Chain A
Amino acid sequence: SQQGEEDPQALSIQEGENATMNCSYKTSINNLQWYRQNSGRGLVHLILIRSNEREKHSGRLRVTLDTSKKSSSLLITASRAADTASYFCATALTGGGNKLTFGTGTQLKVEL
């Protein structure tokens, strides 16, 4: 089945720096979502962007969507050690009903 691919697989930055992670997908979507997972825990929904939107903001998060390139990016500004987690994109396919397909994730480590 179609799956988003995140890039990079792992990212290590210093506190205060910005973190950018990317997600590519293969087929037409209704919306794309980003989730966060702390080690050994469940996922938490961060932000959703619909196929007719190009950019959304939520606090220190900025998400962009380029449907022509079938890609999305998540930017975390002024990162904190507490942002250390894995980040997953999830796509809702056009005509796919309520099924979400998750990518493989980006592991972000923010060092003090």
Chain B
Amino acid sequence: DGGITQSPKYLFRKEGQNVTLSCEQNLNHDAMYWYRQDPGQGLRLIYYSQIVNDFQKGDIAEGYSVSREKKESFPLTVTSAQKNPTAFYLCASSSYKAGSGANVLTFGAGSRLTVL
């Protein structure tokens, strides 16, 4: 089955530690995204990548880093510089290409990060 796999589902981290969230897709999608969701709020875009070896900052990129070395993978590192990292993190992908129409996202099941 095609889809997006996020791991781990739950993660606990001590303050001052970096942590990396994994996102893998087998949908052959070019574009991948990371969103953050806080309780009772909508999704905020952290980073996105439209093609391998290229990515752009979203609305709340400070304290986060990403890489896109393979089409299938878009890991997110939450660094110690992120002041309030406890949140639900969602990875998504799409087959969007500029000028080709609407961008419909397929989401993973999410990773819940708690900083102790």
A-B contact count, CB below 8 Å?
Answer: 64
Q: Using C-beta atoms within 8 Å of the partner chain, give the interface range for chain A.
A: 20 to 34
> Mask for B72-103, Cβ within 8 A of A = 1, else 0?
00000000000000001010101010100011
List A contacts of B107 (CB < 8 A).
Answer: 42-44
User: A interface, by DSSP: helix, strand, loop or mixed?
Assistant: strand
| A42-B109, A88-B43 known; A48+B31 contact, CB < 8 A | no
List B contacts of A97 (CB < 8 A).
Answer: 98
Confirm or deny: B25 has a beta carbon within 8 angstroms of a beta carbon on chain A.
Answer: no
The chain B residues found within 8 Å of chain A, CB to CB, are 4, 6, 31, 35, 40-45, 48, 50, 58-59, 88, 90, 92, 94, 96, 98, 102-110, 112
Listed A/B pairs (14) with beta-carbon separation below 8 Å: A40-B88, A41-B110, A42-B6, A42-B107, A42-B108, A43-B105, A44-B107, A45-B106, A88-B42, A88-B43, A98-B50, A99-B103, A100-B45, A104-B42
